[in-house]
Structure 1
Amino acid sequence: METTFKTLLVYLFIANLVVNAFDPFSTIYSYFHESCDPKWVQFNATGLQADLKSQLFGQHLASRIILKAVTGFMNNNPQKPLVLSLHGWTGTGKNFASKLIANNIYKEGMDSSFVHLFVSGLHFPDNDKVETYKSQLQHWIRGHVTNCAHSMFIFDEMDKMHPGLIDSIKPFLDYYDKLDGVSYRKAIFIFLSNAGGESITHTTLDFWKSGKDREELELEDVEIPLSLSVFNNKNSGLWHTCLIDKNLVDFFVPFLPLEFRHVVQCAMAEMKARGLSPDPDVAYKVASEFIYFPKADQVFSIKGCKTIKSKLDYYI
């Protein structure tokens, strides 16, 4: 009897170890519920390179900078969060590029609970409440990074954001090991702004007038005038902020004005995304409806590709 009881205790002990080592309910939950582990958060450099090449049209500089910056950051042990500031006119691909980055880091892409989008006009509309916004924003960032170190924060309409609010996130972007026990080094911050678009356009137009191909345009041709334009523009949001003054923005990413051929490519891509056979004739008709400048030469599109979907609906 005593032997049987001891044997039973051994079996119970082993069973307890097995249950603790393999909790089926926990495993099932983590399988279906997004968590901050490699199953849900894993960088795909090959995928990002392919997406930028096949889907982001006319942006050789932005594609190159984004690929190198994100790949280097995700594959190494960063000393600070990655901070990208994307600049250019509406419709040139800034939001879309952010989506491609998210899609190749998070399994759920932009729908991931670790990707956070802030739109200035929506989330921070009242300048009289800047102090309240500061406290809320710092709390949100701290809480989300505590939940997942590989969190991504996208700030749209940075040109409309109060400079004081931007400065309030400065500590999270700096070279700190930890702040109040939390490390922000693996987080990604992406700023989207129309500010600097005029500077980028002037540089691109001058390049075109000199007879050079736009693909010959290098980052050094654009980056310095762009950063100065953003820093000194009172309507930029980043005007005289410490983010620029303290060199916390890793890359100012220029999005060039699109040409007719790029608008055609956008229309073809949208047809393909809808499961349709791309029709060059339809794409040309859609692109022809856009307004181009300079007026005499009709080279660059004023709107870019943002209204492609609605215009394409008219023809399909």
Structure 2
Amino acid sequence: MTLLRNLCCGLYLLTFSLHWAEGLIDPVSLSVAAGLGLSAWYGSFLKDQTFCRLTECCNERSIPADIEKLRRKLGSKLFGQHIVMQQLLSALKAHLSPNSSSRKPLVISFHGTPGTGKNYVADMVAEALYEKGVKSRFVHKYMGRLEFSLDKDVQKYNNRIFHDVISGINDCPISLFIFDEVDKMPQGVFESLTSLVDYNGLPNKMDGSKAIFIFISNTAGVQISDQLAKMLKNGFMREDVKLSAFEQILEKASYNLEGGLKKAGLIEQHVIDHYIPFLPLEKHHVHKCIEAEFDKWDRKPQQKVILSMLQDVITYEREHGLFATSGCKTIEKKVATEVWIN
């Protein structure tokens, strides 16, 4: 650490000297500007140009927040999820806008059956917002089944979440917290979080209004499938289905079904901004997933190969016979195996 500080100090001085030598800073202008606080600004500038080139900082370089990049990725890699595309992009763009007047973090809850893209999208959000993606120190991801599994330890989990959120936002106000497998967590695990994500809820006047929280759950997956099937049978086109057809279903299911959000203050206090359904996938969506996976390997398989794989990987839920039970969940490994065999 001492070596890093010395290196950074040396780079500070070198950068300053170069600017001075190039005539970018003259004594008179520096003297005048000093009274206006140039020293503080220049210190920040030097940090951005030296220290923050060597390590991750809470600045625009490390957090480009590239919503257009996310739009492109979702458009080319996510299939059958027009509601996700519409709602997620709009929510993030509004939240991260310099003109936003929001006084609370953005809180989003993803719901759907396995293989519909919930984790995939959460990781894409991290990759678009942060230069280091999911490896950024400003991205905090938790696995419910592994890290928050025991009913008897709920209070310990609450304390950990409270501490992690305070520490994370103190490190960088634009932090991302992802809680996966929420349906596998015990009831009450998020009670300490409720006040933190409410309006002006952080202690010591900390500003967490730019933080983002994403909850990922299989909860209400069956209800989403039932609602979509009903609408399709009533003549709706899938692409015309709106978020409004699912929001109340998701909120009620989250509050009443077993899992980390059951009877949760997050729902009672209405601090979850968006409940986003991931619709169950149909055969042609899985077909696109297979093609996209082959593209990663720079392969263009014959249609008979894809159709053969579809027969192997797709099973349909019994209730409606419309939707692939595992979505695209197993496609990556199946395609990789096919590539190496051939």
Please give the TM-score of this superposition, normalised by the length of structure 1. Answer: 0.88
Correspondence 1:32 to 2:32: no
The root-mean-square deviation of aligned C-alpha atoms, in Å, is 2.5
* Contact 1:92/1:306, CA 8 A, preserved across alignment: yes
Q: Distance in 2 between matches of 1:83 and 1:73?
A: 10
1:288 to 311, 325, 335: 311
Partner of 2:114: 90
- Which one of 51, 57, 82 corresponds to residue 79 of structure 2? 57
Could you tell me whether the CA contact under 8 Å between 2:317 and 2:324 is conserved in 1? no
Q: 1:220: which partner in 2? A: 244
Deviation at 1:298, TM superposition (A): 4.0
Structure 2: tracts of 5 or more residues without a match: 1-15, 22-38
TM-score w.r.t. structure 2 length?
A: 0.82
By how many angstroms is 1:256 displaced?
0.5
Mapped partners of 2:180, 2:302: distance in 1: 33
Q: Distance in 2 between the 1:37 and 1:147 partners? A: 11
Q: CA–CA distance in 2 between the matches of 1:244 and 1:33?
A: 38
Which whole-Å CA distance do the structure 1 matches of 2:333 and 2:78 have between them? 19
CA pair 255-42 structure 1, distance change in 2 beyond 3 A: same
In structure 1, list runs of 5 or more residues that go unmatched.
1-13
- What's the secondary structure of 1:266's corresponding residue? helix
| Corresponding position of 1:230 | 254
| % identical aligned pairs | 31
| 2:295 aligned residue | 272
Deviates more, 1:42-51 or 1:62-71: 42-51
CA offsets 1:271-312 (integer angstroms, 9 cap, x no match): 112333355433332222234435597421000111111221
Residues 297 and 178 of structure 1: CA distance in aligned 2, closer, same or farther (over 3 Å)? closer
Which of 297-306 and 280-289 deviates more?
Answer: 280-289
Aligned partners of 1:294 and 1:147: how far apart in 2?
45
Instruction: Give the equivalent residue in structure 2 for 1:66.
Output: 88
CA deviations on 1:29-76 (whole Å, 9 max, x unpaired) are: 311311110001022222222222111100011111101111111112
Q: Tell me: CA distance 1:281–1:139, structure 2 relative to 1, closer, same or farther (3 Å).
A: same
In the alignment, the residues of structure 1 paired with residue 46 and residue 274 of structure 2 have an alpha-carbon distance, to the nearest angstrom, of 45
Cα pair distance change 1:291/1:277, threshold 3 Å: closer
Match of 1:309 in 2: 332
The number of residue pairs the alignment matches comes to 302
Shift in CA distance, 78/282, structure 1 to aligned 2, threshold 3 Å: farther
d(CA) in 2 for partners of 1:50, 1:24: 34
Give the direction of change, closer, same or farther, for the CA distance of 1:206–1:42 in structure 2 (3 Å limit): same
In structure 2, C-alpha distance between the alignment counterparts of 1:263 and 1:232, rounded to whole Å:
31
